[in-house]
């Protein structure tokens, strides 16, 4: 089961897809936009995002460690 808010995160990540940016830049752009909308994540939802984000084709080259690093940069 996907945590509450996961659909919104996925929407922002897809909305900010730009093939001219690196995958990590795209994720950062999407997550920053998500935060700007004043939508807050609980710590357990962040873990769900780290697992679920590998499924979309745009992000399937990132490891969980790389995703964790991106979350820490934001």
Domain ranges of the chain: 6-73
Confidence band for 70, pLDDT divided at 50, 70 and 90: confident
pLDDT at 60 over 60: no
CA-derived radius of gyration, the chain: 11
Both structure tokens of 9: 């995160």
Residues 47, 55: Cα–Cα separation, whole Å = 14
> Can you tell me the distance from the alpha carbon of 59 to that of 38, in angstroms, rounded to the nearest whole number?
24
Q: Which two tokens stand for residue 37?
A: 């909308």
Summarised one tens digit per residue, pLDDT across range 4-55 is 555 666 666 666 666 677 777 777 777 776 665 544 555 455 555 554 554 4
């Amino acid at each position: 089961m996907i945590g509450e808010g996961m659909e919104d995160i996925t929407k922002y990540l897809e909305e900010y897809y730009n093939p001219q940016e690196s995958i990590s830049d795209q994720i950062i752009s999407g997550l920053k936009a998500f935060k700007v909308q004043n939508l807050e994540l609980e710590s357990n939802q962040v873990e769900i995002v780290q697992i679920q984000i590998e499924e979309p084709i745009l992000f399937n080259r990132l490891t969980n460690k790389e995703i964790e690093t991106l979350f820490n940069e934001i």
